[in-house]
Structure 1
Amino acid sequence: MIVVFGSINVDLVTVVPRLPGPGETVKGPDYQVFPGGKGANQALAARRAGAAVAMIGAVGADGFRHEALSLLAAAGVDLSGVAALDAPTGIAMIAVDGRAENQIVVASGANSRADPAGVARRIRAGDTLLLQYEVPDAAVLAAAEAARAAGARVLLNAAPAGPVPPALARCLDVLIVNEHEAAEVAAAAGLPEAPRAFASAWAAASGGVCVVTLGAEGAVAAGPEGQVSVAAPLVKVVDTTAAGDGFVGAFAAALDRGATLAEALMDGVAAGSLAVETTGAQPSLPDAAAIRTRAAGLAARA
Structure 2
Amino acid sequence: MIVFCGYANIDLTVGVPALPAPGDRVQATAIRHGHGGMAANASAAAARAGADAWFAGVVGPDPGSTAFLAALAADGVRTDWTARTGTLTTAVVLLTPDGERAVISQDDELDARHITRTVRAAREAGADWLYLDGYRFPEAAAAL
Shorter-chain TM-score category?
0.7 to 0.9
Change (3 A) 1:34 1:120: same
Going by fraction, where is helix more abundant, 1 or 2? Answer: 1
Distance, in Å, in 2 between the alignment partners of 1:45 and 1:58 is 19
Per-residue CA distance 1:89-132 (angstroms, 9 max, x = gap): 11110011111211111101334577111221233446111122
Distance, in Å, in 1 between the alignment partners of 2:48 and 2:12 is 23
Unmatched segments (≥5 aa) in structure 2: none
Distance, in Å, in 2 between the alignment partners of 1:17 and 1:35 is 23
> Which amino acid counterpart does residue 106 of structure 1 have in structure 2?
S
C-alpha contact (below 8 Å) 2:14/2:93 kept by paired residues: yes
> Which moves more between the two structures, 123-132 or 16-25?
123-132
Distance, in Å, in 2 between the alignment partners of 1:54 and 1:9 is 16
Distance, in Å, in 1 between the alignment partners of 2:19 and 2:142 is 37
Do residues 101 (structure 1) and 100 (structure 2) align?
yes
C-alpha contact (below 8 Å) 1:56/1:119 kept by paired residues: no
Distance, in Å, in 2 between the alignment partners of 1:45 and 1:111 is 21
Unmatched segments (≥5 aa) in structure 1: 146-302
Partner of 2:2: 2
> Which amino acid counterpart does residue 34 of structure 2 have in structure 1?
F
C-alpha contact (below 8 Å) 1:90/1:111 kept by paired residues: no
Change (3 A) 1:114 1:46: farther
Change (3 A) 1:35 1:111: farther
> Which amino acid counterpart does residue 54 of structure 1 have in structure 2?
W
C-alpha contact (below 8 Å) 2:112/2:140 kept by paired residues: no
Partner of 1:12: 12
Of all paired residues, the percent bearing the same amino acid is: 30
C-alpha contact (below 8 Å) 1:3/1:53 kept by paired residues: yes
Partner of 2:90: 91
The Cα shift of 1:70 comes to 3.6
SS in 2 for 1:78: coil
C-alpha contact (below 8 Å) 1:95/1:102 kept by paired residues: yes
- Bigger radius of gyration: 1
Partner of 1:130: 131
Do residues 42 (structure 1) and 29 (structure 2) align?
no
Distance, in Å, in 2 between the alignment partners of 1:112 and 1:106 is 17
Change (3 A) 1:113 1:129: closer
Change (3 A) 1:65 1:110: farther
SS in 1 for 2:43: helix
Per-residue CA distance 1:212-270 (angstroms, 9 max, x = gap): xxxxxxxxxxxxxxxxxxxxxxxxxxxxxxxxxxxxxxxxxxxxxxxxxxxxxxxxxxx
Change (3 A) 1:20 1:112: farther
Which structure is higher in RCO with an 8 Å CA cutoff and minimum separation 6?
Answer: 2
C-alpha contact (below 8 Å) 1:47/1:75 kept by paired residues: yes
Partner of 1:165: none
SS in 2 for 1:105: strand
The Cα shift of 1:88 comes to 2.6
Distance, in Å, in 1 between the alignment partners of 2:99 and 2:57 is 29
SS in 1 for 2:58: strand
C-alpha contact (below 8 Å) 1:4/1:56 kept by paired residues: yes
Per-residue CA distance 1:177-225 (angstroms, 9 max, x = gap): xxxxxxxxxxxxxxxxxxxxxxxxxxxxxxxxxxxxxxxxxxxxxxxxx
Change (3 A) 1:64 1:24: farther
> Which amino acid counterpart does residue 108 of structure 1 have in structure 2?
D
C-alpha contact (below 8 Å) 1:115/1:139 kept by paired residues: no
C-alpha contact (below 8 Å) 1:6/1:57 kept by paired residues: yes
Partner of 2:61: 61
